[in-house]
């Protein structure tokens, strides 16, 4: 019964995710889902991106168990933010995104950035209907992160290794990390960033701009 219930739940979610995807395409909105562990630096990266791409119409959906702290940071960076508090759920799902975008003006949006709840397990199973899913992993978390969470890394289109400014202070094998990533998803684009200095943000933003004119993906 539990297996059947989970299959039904995921099936219903995938149906809504497909509808979300169609809505994004119809309104020419590029949608991205940022996943990562708590403290990996997802919000800091989004702050940097919002400031760097201030010529684009960007909206951000912030997912968290509680508080609107991250949404406030995004709004201070210059983008409109919509907060989703899950009240205990460890992930966002497609219906939550559907409800959120029903309150957003997609016709006045170029890019929708979604910050998922800090977790690399549950969010991997629930597609939201976005064009690209990016994983944010940070140096202090260790170079074996892909090995520990293969489902998440296998299902992403991009990986951001954040907090590279700490490489001299942490036992982290960058070559091993990227090798593990390539084994799981060889086509995923790779970024290395440091939010305090801004290193790598320009390349991430350049890639994002290119996706605006690229053919949409499922």
Query: In this structure, are residues 114 and 128 in contact, taking their beta carbons and an 8 Å threshold?
Result: yes
- Region 94-106: what's the mean pLDDT? 96
Q: What is the extent of the structural domain holding 41?
A: 2-213
Task: Spell out the alpha helix ranges (H) of 31-93.
Answer: 42-52, 69-77
Number of compact structural domains in the chain: 1
- Region 197-218: what's the mean pLDDT? 88
Residue 139 domain-assigned (yes or no): yes
Q: Is the pLDDT of residue 8 over 70?
A: no
Query: What's the pLDDT score for residue 89?
Result: 86
Domain of residue 64, CATH code? 3.40.50.300
Q: Please name the residue that has the structure tokens 């739940």.
A: 9
From the list 136, 123, 110, 41, the residue with the least C-alpha distance to 84 is: 123
Q: At what angle do helices 42-52 and 69-77 cross, to 10 degrees?
A: 20
Mean pLDDT estimate for the chain? 93
From the list 162, 151, 160, the residue with the least C-alpha distance to 184 is: 151
Query: What's the pLDDT score for residue 209?
Result: 97
3-state secondary structure of 80: strand
Query: What's the pLDDT score for residue 215?
Result: 57
Q: Is the pLDDT of residue 5 over 60?
A: no
Beta bridge partners of 162: 138
Residue 86 domain-assigned (yes or no): yes
Q: In this structure, is the dihedral angle defined by the CA atoms of residues 103, 88, 31 and 191, taken in order, positive or negative?
A: positive
Query: What's the pLDDT score for residue 167?
Result: 98
Q: Is the pLDDT of residue 114 over 90?
A: yes
Per the document, the length of the chain is 218
Work out the percent of the chain whose per-residue pLDDT is above 70: 94
Work out the percent of the chain whose per-residue pLDDT is above 90: 90
**Tokens in use for 114?**
């979604």
Q: What is the pLDDT of residues 35-73, one digit of tens each?
A: 999 999 999 999 999 999 999 999 999 999 999 999 999
Query: What's the pLDDT score for residue 7?
Result: 54
Q: What is the pLDDT of residues 117-165, one digit of tens each?
A: 999 999 999 999 999 999 999 999 999 999 999 999 999 999 999 999 9
From the list 6, 63, 2, 71, the residue with the least C-alpha distance to 33 is: 63
Q: What is the DSSP letter of 165?
A: G
C-alpha to C-alpha distance for 158 and 218, rounded to whole angstroms: 14
Model confidence at 218, pLDDT cuts 50, 70, 90, reads very low
Return the H-helix or E-strand segment holding 59: strand 58-64
Q: How far is CA 134 from the centre of its chain?
A: 5
Residue 54 domain-assigned (yes or no): yes
Residue 79 domain-assigned (yes or no): yes
Residue 218 domain-assigned (yes or no): no
């Amino acid at each position: 019964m539990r297996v059947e219930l989970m299959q039904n739940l995921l099936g219903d979610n995938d149906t809504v995710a497909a509808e979300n995807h169609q809505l994004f395409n119809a309104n020419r909105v590029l949608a991205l889902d940022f996943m990562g562990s708590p403290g990996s630096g997802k919000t800091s990266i989004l702050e940097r991106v919002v400031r760097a791409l201030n010529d684009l119409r960007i909206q951000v959906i912030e997912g968290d168990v509680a508080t609107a702290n991250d949404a406030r940071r995004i709004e201070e960076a210059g983008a409109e933010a919509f907060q989703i508090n899950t009240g205990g759920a460890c992930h966002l799902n497609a219906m939550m995104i559907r409800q959120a975008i029903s309150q957003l003006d997609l016709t006045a949006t170029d890019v929708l950035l979604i910050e998922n709840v800090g977790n690399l397990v549950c969010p991997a199973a629930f597609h939201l209907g976005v064009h690209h899913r990016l994983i944010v992993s940070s140096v202090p978390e260790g170079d074996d992160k892909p090995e520990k969470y293969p489902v998440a890394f296998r299902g992403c289109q991009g990986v951001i290794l954040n907090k590279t400014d700490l490489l001299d202070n942490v036992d982290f094998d960058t070559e091993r990390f990227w090798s593990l990533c390539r084994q799981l998803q060889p086509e995923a684009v790779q970024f290395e960033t440091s939010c305090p200095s801004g290193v790598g943000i320009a390349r991430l933003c350049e890639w994002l701009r290119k996706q605006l004119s690229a053919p949409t993906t499922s």
